[in-house]
A and B are shown apart, each in its own frame.
Chain A
Amino acid sequence: MLKGGYMGKILRVNLTNQTYTEESTTEELARNFIGGAGFGIRFLFDEVPAGTDALGPNNKLIFAPGPLTGTSAPCASRMAVVAKSPLTGAVGMCTTGGYFPAELKFAGYDALIIEGKAERPLYLWINDGKVSFRRADKLWGTNTFDCQQLIKDELGDQNIRIACIGPAGELQSKIASIINERRAAGRKGLGAVMGAKNLKAIAVRGHKTVPVASENDYKQARSRMLKTMKESPVLYPAFANTGTPMVVEATWGLGIFPTRNWSATGEWDPVDKLGIKANDSRKIGKEHCYNCPVACSQLKLAREGIYTGSLSVPEFETIYAFGGQTGVGNLDSIIAADRLCDEMGMDSISTGVAIGFAMELYEKGIITKDDTDGVELNFGNHEAMFKLVSKIGYRQGFGALLADGVKDAAAKIGKNAEKYAMHVKGLELPGYDVRGAKAHGLNYATSYTGADHNRGYAFQEIFGIPEPETVDRFAYEGKGRLTKWNQDIRTATCDCPTMCAFLLDMAFPANAALNCADMLSSLTGLNFTPAEIEKIGERVNNLARAFNVREGFTRKDDNLPERILTEPLKEGGSKGQYISRAELDKMLDEYYYERGWTAEGIPTKQKLLDLGLENAAEELEKMGA
């Protein structure tokens, strides 16, 4: 019997039959996987066999907050959303924040597993342990903000929290996201999985309290955590007042703010147009996730031209995707494009990268006005960029070609377009030009979700933080060890418990596992040591890798786009840098060695057994991997 942190139940919903069952959250599961991504990946591995159609009824969509979620812990209202990704074919795992994750706990659940496919559009209403299937015919076609409001009105409670899809998810675009409030489980096409199941939304309301094993100890652990947060030199006031847009300036200075589909990184100065002051001048307020004292989300109002009045929270990644990547120096158009992405339910990174990709093809003459519906799609053309966003969302004209991401688009276009497609395993690259930040490069190459900065962010390279060791961002030696450390610590201390990853680099770079063990032990009564916490990170990463291996991924998929491997940066703070094929190979060799995997990147039987992953070991052995 679990004493605290867990609600004790996992809700399993079958959309085909419109039935649901409740299962117990076991101590074995809690102890070995904590929650969040750990739970999600464990269910995915056990229940979604190799070769499952990601957009078919047999894929599962899992929502999993963690034990800290919904408690008095700061910054813990996060949840993992997990499915096989239609974009990559690998594990699709995103985390999202806001209020929905805490509400799911209050409704009584540690996880929600969605199976099957509804015959016609519906939404799920989870009300304090009662589940109903409600018709969504009238909601189908609405944008994500209207959808949330319409459901609240229909159910007569404005405090209901809703995760839903927009038109992009309904149309099963592989870059579709799931939106709750103004937050997104943005990447890897999880919105398409939901759309393919004919599930428009999940509405949740609950009034239960998350139990705490040892109230007094938890209070003290929480005080220690808050104290460390207060001591951070960045969290307050800089990050709380500015949020992620400050990274625009840092990456510019380091020469790694990707520009014009990564063809001109270091050659453009975005500081005046897209930097902190420009962002501050559009700021009208702040938003925060449940029980977060930081409130990093900066609400911005577009103030000029056709974008005037558009409201959104563009994070650094969005400013990169619609700004640097497309060469657009118009912040108002970026705010408006971000807003559209949220309304359509689509990933702003993948959308912006796809547009920048198309712009380069247009400038190189690989595509022409005949392909782009008559639009002059040059870099820097903010109106063209903005208009293309809704065309992608509705899969109209040229937009339809980009709606499944750059890998698919390049394959359809042919003419060697893949050369300009910036992705790994099908997932578009986030906003750090890895040629000047090599651990980022190795992380993009090896992350179990594809090019994902969130699965092993190398904060050492960007912010100069010397934990666990000092790091020269241009060197490739040591990056295998560092990448393993970053991936495991992030999984263990952020993606599973769950906790906002911003705290990892800003408050806990040196003692994340200790803080996590401290919080989880007093909350759950399970007595986690820091070493056990770190091992859980390793376990989850290995299980995710085993899922991908079972799907046929090998070393050759741990790759980087050709441009990264062949074109040195021409200007700026990382001038001359690139990652040669030989360097990438050496980094991969080191990484696999550190992970205890074979030279082909397959987890060894011994490694899987050491981590208690017997069935993964068995399955890989069966397939002769």
Chain B
Amino acid sequence: MPSERFVIPIGPQHPALKEPGHFEFSVEGERVTGATVRLGYAHRGIEKACEERNWVQSLYLLERICGICSHIHTTAYCLGVERLAGVEVPPRAQAIRVLIAELERVHSHLLWLGVAAHEAGFDTLFMYSWRDRETVMDVLEGLTGNRVNYSANVLGGVKYDLDEARAETIRKGVDYLEARTYYYLELVVHDPVFVQRTRGIGTVTREQAEWLGLVGPAARASNVARDLRVESPYAAYDLFPVQMVLETAGDLEARVSVRLKELFESYRVIRTILDKLPTGEIKGRMPKKVREGETVSRVEAPRGELFYFIKSNGTDKAERVKVRTPTLCNLAPMMTLAIGHQLADMPMLLAGVDPCFSCNDRSIVVRNAQEAETRWTWEQLRRYGIEVYKCKR
């Protein structure tokens, strides 16, 4: 006998995801029978804005498509525009781009691990992984001066160089993170609570993944070999090759372990780059106007293939910049897959593809005139906490 049908709206403001997206699940009892999505809460009209700004201004705009993978957006854009303009980018610059891209992948995957753990009701892991993520944030900040939106890329090269001392701090950070990642990998396959929420949930077969056009870790968890760093090495990936990480199970657990195993590849590449950084300039000369033409620029963002189509009309502004983010590819298949699952699995399923709906200045601390520090240490924060409490009383 058919039970009653309900439509459950989730979002746009909801505790599960920090970004706005509106989902509607129709359910029969606890089973999901239909799913639709409405985006646009974070739609700002960036593609149009790129037509009104010049090549350099667009760079900073595109960086702010997404604060989590800001560097990869500008990498895709820079590689495309440089190709159109016929600019040679020095190898050192390309290597630094890859270095930062891999650091960004580390930060993004750890962030995701925390969010996924939170969805699974495993907040301890959330706190752990975010605590460790601070290590890579420190590294990124040391390298570029900002924790998010580093603006390391410029047209023709990069803005920041690094020396041996900096390299050493990066190595230390990576060593620490590597040890932690082993621990997490151990944890996610053995912790019974976590495994119950991930094993056999949201399984995507290889055929489905190929047919539905999944990209990134979500595809690789279903044994689909799609990784542009391997298939079409851009920037300096030909000098510093990565190995593709594949899993066969295709369920949420596989998506977790693909991401964690990828981290080891990232650590390895980061170390190799630090050891064998090419010498030379970090920036080539970039003309103000870019000659007419069209180009496609594809890079592997932490969430999958990021696709840029850039058309120039020979002026200092773009004729068209088209951005296709990995989330748009992965969201539609997930809506299809949601059907038949338990409602309670929805947050996990959504988090499984790591959706990113949004996809400058330097760090600022609001400070009193008396305080000279621009950054707080752990201890200072602790003391501040105590003081605040004391004087409130």
Q: Do A and B bind each other?
A: no
